[in-house]
Structure 1
Amino acid sequence: MRIIAVDDEDLALEGCINAIKKTEPDATVEGFTSGKKAIEKAEDIKPQVAFLDVEMRTDNGIDVAKQLQEKNPKINIIFVTGYSDYMQEAFAIYASGYIMKPVTAAKVKAELEHLRFPVEEDAEQHTNKLKVHTFGEFEVFTPDGVPLDFVYSKTRELLAVLIDANGAMRTFNQIMEKIWQDEDDAGSHRSYMRNLFADMTRIFAEHNCSEALIRRRGEAAINKAFFDCDYFDFLDGKKAETGFVGEYMNQYSWAEPTLGKLVQLSDDIW
């Protein structure tokens, strides 16, 4: 599911996105503090659901909704607001739903379960999955089993950090502190990390997995729907099938805390 959220208040936007991710962890979620920017990016993202703050400082959510509907008449619009005054106007444009702030996972879940227009799953999310091995050495392969050819070795480690996060967002600072954990000033590599993201974006696009990487201001995550991963399978309860024998991303020392958790979870199958 491709979802966008628009709110000009950073904390409110973050709260909305977190609630969406708790409800739909496999969804691609993009956040915007500007309705204009959301409309510009809609052509590329092709959102199926939009959570829109009704009244913003520079935008009106009703107007943003109308412009999104011009691009896709079957987009599900869910208005988010602290006021009930706009409810009649919202439903006049055939909105899918209406949430009163604060946004919670329960409220989001209720709206996503009753969308006006059915959301069709993207076939590519299920047929073009990248294969990821984390138990032992970390490796990434194309759907045909060919190792991904990243320009930088650190790009592979960047992906490893995002895989380790299990679909959760990680700030750029958190990522750099892992990749360059032995350096006193890990933050000095911010410009280099942009090259790593560009490398990852390029190779994902080459393999029809452009939406596998989720980025927003200062943060990044992966869309788990694009990966066939032993670590994800293990966490989903398929422990015995994964062949876990106490090894996890052996080449990365920062992965040791996760290894400890996996060993603890494995007690019931050993």
Structure 2
Amino acid sequence: MRVILVDDEGLALKDLERQLDKIGGIEIVGTFLCASDALERIEELKPDAAFLDIDMPEISGLEAAEQVHRLNGDIQIVFVTAYHEYAIKAFELAALDYILKPVNADRLARTVERLKLTEPSRPTSSEPPMAKVSCFERLTIEYGKSEPFAWRTVRAQELFAYMVYKRNQPVRKDILLELLWPNSEYKKAFTQLYTTVYQIRKSLEAAGLTIRLTNSGSDYYLDLGGNRYDVQEWELAYQALPELTPETADDHVAWLKEYTGDFLAENDYAWAENERQRLRDLWYNHALAISEMWKAAGFRKETLAIYGLMEQRYPFSEEVYFLTMQYHADNGDNGMAGIKYAQLCAMLKEEYDIQPSLAVRQWVESLKKRET
């Protein structure tokens, strides 16, 4: 039976700890002088029960009990207080027991016996599955099961996505509050943060994953624990590519095709835009480098194939259409350049109800003049 003790009076806390040690059968996994510290470490310590003083500053025992139950409804609550008048409220909160100060040893022993009757059986451990976190196009976690990874709330999903983005580096709690709860009152926002972190941890635990979201005072830290991450793997593969030549081009094109969608495009988180653009630029610039290599080598079919791949990835990009138009014109095929321009006009009209840019229109006009 794992328990935590919370009391803002240090002497009372030590006395309760001493009496419980004397009774035996209880593992005290944490003692706290304020409820907020206890709430922060609930997931890490995994208590079966919490002994809470009721009359505490900042967060009372009654408020703490409500938050504990939101985090984990299986944790048993035992209130310890000097005041009778809290008894009714305590049992409204489904507390297992209510003990008056000064704590009587026999009375405490009966409480411990009641707690032992509620102690859950602990499952045997097994080898955790290796997971793959994917952020191209949308956030997904593949973990060896057919059913999708279950997120308790939309906010938990977004917080996890942000921590994956910031993986292996500390993230200050105040940054997370400003990012996810910018308009909430400070105390309420902290409670929401603790609850959301707990939800993430419970989801990871339920899936049996070794991904860990840990707390270090003012920061949180996500450790992927050796699990795979598609964006990281893609960038590492880029660094391992051989020098770009006609002979190695297939490896480079294969790398381009591993890019299956923009970073968290479907989730559409505002904070993800910089990373989304960085990865887009990496893909686009390398595709452009491959096309330039094929152009310089005089391989027309391969050059157009890369332009086609670029258009497939970014079908609403005027720049990609214009590259193809210029290439056809440079090769004396003004008819194909005109067809591509017509396709560009139709796309822009349908998607944005606009014309091509002035620069592109002027280029087309100059091309027509050269023909006459």
Shorter-chain TM-score tier: 0.3 to 0.5
- The normalised TM-score by structure 1 is 0.47
* Structure 1 or 2: more helix by fraction: 2
Say which structure is richer in strand.
1
Q: Provide the TM-score with structure 2 as the length reference.
A: 0.35
